[in-house]
Structure 1
Amino acid sequence: MKFTEEHEWLLLDGDEVTVGITDHAAKQLGDLVFVELPEAGAVVAKGDEIVTIESVKAASDIVAPLDGTITEVNEAIVEDPAKVNEDPMEIGWFFKMTLNDASDMDGLMDEDAYQEFIAD
């Protein structure tokens, strides 16, 4: 599992990556009340705003962590955004994507580096 400075986690499975927000981010946001996901098949570039979430505290955009193509979205969190708060690292995943270059994952933080990042 890898992590971004935008508090996203990425789990590589074969040539596909599952993406969500970290437990830390979910706690910071508070209770989610709305999630809008990209369309499967969308081609995205690192940094593109592709997910919109709203919580009781704020609205926020989630960016594409790397370049690639969205292959699947988690419709369950659109219907029930609270699933993200309940379990952001498992059932609360946002989307899956294939990467243009899997070696881009090498530039992301591992769990120890992420824990150090959020401790600051």
Structure 2
Amino acid sequence: MTEKKYLETHEWYSLSDNEITIGISDYAQGELGDIVFVTLPEVGDEFSKGDSMVEVEATKTVAEAYAPMDCVITEINTMLDSEPEIINNDPCGQGWMVKAEVKNLDDSGMLYQEYESFIT
């Protein structure tokens, strides 16, 4: 698995061969507050870069997570159905949201150091 990369819209992703794992950053979950519900896509759903893939409902607001590149969903994190707070506790680990097959590689995300500068 490669190093995580981050987007200006506060998603992270990691690539392994032709599979991408996607979640939201620690910064994003902190800004959202306590996450109470997550609406995930279905396996087989297709997204283009920039499409809204996931809806995250928190005590403060509702936000969306966007596709970092063209992809088809291959797996969803079903633990989030009953325990959405996993995203608050471990957003870049167990709090991953979806895994997908990459359809059009666009590995233009920021490394953590760049992202850290972006959010400060």
Whether TM-score is above 0.5 comes out as yes
Aligned residue for 2:115, secondary structure, equals helix
Structure 1 gap segments, 5+ residues each: none
Q: Report Cα offsets for 1:7-33 as digits up to 9, x if no partner.
A: 111011221010000111111100000
One-letter amino acid of the counterpart of residue 80, structure 1: E
1:118 maps to 2:119: yes
When the two chains are superposed, the root-mean-square deviation of aligned CA atoms in Å is 0.9
TM-score, with structure 1 as normaliser: 0.93
One-letter amino acid of the counterpart of residue 109, structure 2: L
- Deviation >4 Å, runs of 4+: none
Q: 1:20, 1:10 → 2: CA distance? A: 6
1:46 maps to 2:49: yes
Q: 2:13, 2:92 → 1: CA distance? A: 10
Aligned positions, number: 117
Q: 1:101, 1:66 → 2: CA distance? A: 7
Q: 2:67, 2:5 → 1: CA distance? A: 14
Aligned counterpart for 1:91 among listed residues 90, 94, 105 = 94
Aligned counterpart for 1:61 among listed residues 57, 61, 64 = 64
Q: 2:16, 2:96 → 1: CA distance? A: 14
Q: Which residue of 2 aligns with 1:77?
A: 80
